[in-house]
Amino acid sequence: MAENYNGPLTPDRPHMKSLWKEQEAALFQGDLGQRVYTSRLLGRDKSLVLHGGGNTSVKASVRNLVGEDEQILYVKGSGWDLEFIEEAGFSPVRMPHLLKLAKLQSLSDPQMVNELVTQMTRAAAPAPSVETILHALLPHKFVDHTHADAVLAVTNTANGEQRIADIYGDKVVIIPYVMPGFDLARMCAELFPKHAGPNTIGMVLLKHGIFSFGATARESYERMIALVDLAERHLQQHRAWLLPETAGDASNTASAAIAEMAALRGDISRAAGFPLLMTSDQTPRTRAFLQRADLNAITQQGPATPDHVIRTKRLPLLGRDVAAYARDYGKYFAVHNAEAKETKIMLDPAPRVVLDAAIGMCTLGRSMKEAAIVADLYRHTMDVIERATLLGGWRALPSRDIFAVEYWDLEQAKLKKSGKPAVYAGEIALVTGAASGIGKASVEALLARGAAVVGLDLQANISGLYARADFLGIQCDVTSGDAIAAALDSTVRLFGGLDMLVLNAGVFPGGTAIAALDDAQWRDVMRVNLDANLTLLRMAHPLLKLAPQGGRVTVIGSKNVPAPGHGAGAYSASKAALTQLARVAALEWGADQIRVNTLHPDAVFDTGLWTAEVLAARAAHYGLSVEQYKKRNVLKTEVTSRDVAALAAEMLGPLFAKTTGAQLPVDGGNERVI
């Protein structure tokens, strides 16, 4: 066995090394605890497994409730990620029955799932991995399985099998590609005993992945590291390790690409039949890949491993002809569905990866998590493709094999379990004045309904308001056209477009009678409450037009529009003008399928405008307690920022799908308004 490389992690050297640390390992007790620890070590290295990929197991003797010793296989449960797995993430399955199943000549997927589940010793455990039977039949206590990039780069070549034999000799058993699940287990049951010898420490599944085994968790794990290290050394020795990058940045294409990106995202969402978020990667590494002269040839073969297809589709879209991609996907489905044993129902024909020189690599999903997973998978796919190409020529699996996994009953079952998506899944909302009060509550309401949200505010704390992938906080002066343009640019670049707009930012200068109202104060109020909203509406309009389900706008007006009060001339006039502007927008933008509605809140006291001192003073002015003053309305109820935000969010949704130009009070009932 070649010694693992433990020197500096430089681009031109293989980097695979053991992450085992004695102090860490000592915290994990027993065989299952050790299994958890090394599984996490595998999961930390993204060149080995990605987003739920790979699986691990340990065999143990367990005394059951009636005092009998049972041989149990603890195997990674479906839905768990190795990087974060816990003991509860392993499914305990009775070994004797698994070994009997391995001897069957055939077993359907539903039958296999049923047999695995009914042999578990813990009813609340997750469903066992589809490769459970394969783990059971391998005669080793600990078994690890990964989809190592380096191994895939070697096997996905024209002479991949011979290269694997040259690299490993008798250290591994080589298994030809076969569909994962029972068919793979059955083939391994036949071939492994025939070819395994005293030096065998692993097994390579061509165009799929690699296994390692051992008597201890550490031995199995470090054998995996050593085996993958050999593949990386082979790539380095054959000048297939270093990959190119492009110098400079992508700023020269930034401005022109924004409208084009939003249009592309709209086209793909319509092809899918539901809205999708789209994020762009224009790193030097990605741009170098997109500039390859052979891009069409190397990207239109298939994924690095069939496991990825459920996330990425078989092929990326080259360029922006979504209609042609959808037609080709339909043909791909028709050809292979005709060959299938059982008729399949076609999935949506929209791409999840787009490769375009001007806008980079774009990936799509109904959530930012989904889009990020697709991006990770394809970044690793690029590495595998390029290294395989340098090694002698990239060769993916035939489309019929990819189709078999994409439309595999077990994979489809995973999708069905995901449940109904949130109402705004795949859509993007922008909220102004988002750092506090109604704006912050609106952000929360939209996030809770599945939207990706951009929050604008003059306060610097907006950028750190939420640490989550589906929120972007931008410090922004909404009275600056340049600042708004930059915010919209960032919105499209991160999320793909704009579907919904909540115009909330505003100022209330306090009580000033008209006789004392100077020009500067008047202009300041109009600049924020009216002019800034006009600018944002005008600049957002081209993006809202491209929204897959139509653009929507909720304007936060004020009770002062229908019922103004003393000393609020500038504020009342600005909100009235904004309301009139919203009505005109509703008229003009209806043909573009953009809805514009207005809310008129009143007496919302949990905002930055109302300090405890001001609230107490106003209550005293009316001879009321603070609690009485808060409920000074027909329904005798308090109106909160969350109440207003909930209605603002709902006005953007399906309940108001046929309403535009409306004005709705949210004030607990104001006698003057009524």
Q: Is the domain of 150 the same as that of 30?
A: yes
Is it the case that residue 124 has pLDDT exceeding 90? Answer: yes
Q: DSSP letters along 72-84, please?
A: EEEEEBTT--GGG
Q: Is the domain of 200 the same as that of 85?
A: yes
**Dihedral (CA of 267, 268, 270, 271) sign:** positive
Mean pLDDT, rounded, of the chain:
92
Distances (CA, A) of 240 to 174, 209, 426, 483: 22, 19, 38, 45
Nearest-angstrom CA–CA distance, 530 and 181? 62
The reply to whether 74 belongs to the active site is: no
The length of the chain is 674
Q: What are phi and psi of 556, to 5 degrees?
A: -90, 105
Highest mean pLDDT among 14-18, 97-101, 109-113: 97-101
Q: Residue 558: which of 602, 501, 528, 589 has the closest Cα?
A: 602
Predicted pLDDT of residue 257 = 76
Predicted pLDDT of residue 207 = 95
Predicted pLDDT of residue 561 = 93
In a domain, 10, yes or no: no
In a domain, 328, yes or no: yes
Nearest-angstrom CA–CA distance, 222 and 212? 9
Residue 410: Cβ within 10 Å count: 16
Q: Is the domain of 398 the same as that of 534?
A: no
User: Are the beta carbons of 171 and 217 closer than 8 angstroms?
Assistant: no
In a domain, 108, yes or no: yes
In a domain, 410, yes or no: yes
Nearest-angstrom CA–CA distance, 246 and 248? 7
Domain end call among 395, 417, 439: 417
In a domain, 275, yes or no: yes
User: Are the beta carbons of 233 and 14 closer than 8 angstroms?
Assistant: yes
Which entry of 177, 332, 571, 629 is annotated as an active-site residue?
A: 571
DSSP code for 59: E
Grade residue 610 by pLDDT with cuts at 50, 70 and 90. confident
Q: Is the domain of 289 the same as that of 378?
A: yes
Residue 10: Cβ within 10 Å count: 9
- Across the range 535-540, mean pLDDT stands at 97
Predicted pLDDT of residue 55 = 95
- Across the range 77-90, mean pLDDT stands at 94
User: Are the beta carbons of 140 and 56 closer than 8 angstroms?
Assistant: no
* Close Cβ partners of 593 (under 8 Å, ≥ 6 residues apart): 545, 547, 550, 551
Residue 472: Cβ within 10 Å count: 24
CATH number at residue 459: 3.40.50.720
Residues forming a β-bridge with 173: 203
Alpha helix (H) ranges present in 211-253? Answer: 217-237
Q: Is the domain of 442 the same as that of 382?
A: no
In a domain, 598, yes or no: yes
- Count of domains for the chain: 4
Domain end call among 185, 209, 237: 237
Burial of 253 (0-12, 13-18, 19+ CB in 10 A): middle
% of the chain beyond a pLDDT of 70: 95
In a domain, 244, yes or no: no
Q: Is the domain of 98 the same as that of 139?
A: yes
Q: Is the domain of 438 the same as that of 411?
A: no
pLDDT tens for residues 473-510? 999 999 999 999 999 999 999 999 999 999 999 988 77
pLDDT tens for residues 431-447? 999 999 999 999 999 99
User: What is this structure's pTM?
Assistant: 0.91
Grade residue 614 by pLDDT with cuts at 50, 70 and 90. confident
pLDDT tens for residues 639-650? 999 999 999 999
pLDDT tens for residues 359-403? 999 999 999 999 999 999 999 999 999 999 999 899 999 999 999
Residues spanned by the domain of 633 = 605-638
Q: Is the domain of 472 the same as that of 590?
A: yes
What distance lies between CA 206 and its chain's CA centroid?
29
Domain end call among 388, 417, 446: 417
Q: Which residue has better confidence, 612 or 632?
A: 632
Nearest-angstrom CA–CA distance, 636 and 633? 5
CATH number at residue 314: 3.40.225
Grade residue 565 by pLDDT with cuts at 50, 70 and 90. confident
pLDDT tens for residues 217-268? 999 999 999 999 999 999 999 999 988 777 555 554 444 578 999 999 999 9
Q: Is the domain of 409 the same as that of 497?
A: no
First-last CA distance in the chain: 85
Q: Is the domain of 652 the same as that of 621?
A: no
Q: What are phi and psi of 80, to 5 degrees?
A: -90, 150
- The structure tokens listed for 648 are 């603002």
CATH number at residue 215: 3.40.225.10
In a domain, 7, yes or no: no
pLDDT tens for residues 6-62? 443 345 556 789 999 999 999 999 999 999 999 999 999 999 999 888 999 999 999
Nearest-angstrom CA–CA distance, 129 and 81? 12
pLDDT tens for residues 312-359? 999 999 999 999 999 999 999 999 999 988 888 899 999 999 999 999
Predicted pLDDT of residue 252 = 46
Q: Is the domain of 220 the same as that of 324?
A: no
Predicted pLDDT of residue 1 = 36
Q: Is the domain of 281 the same as that of 151?
A: no
Predicted pLDDT of residue 13 = 53
User: Are the beta carbons of 212 and 18 closer than 8 angstroms?
Assistant: no
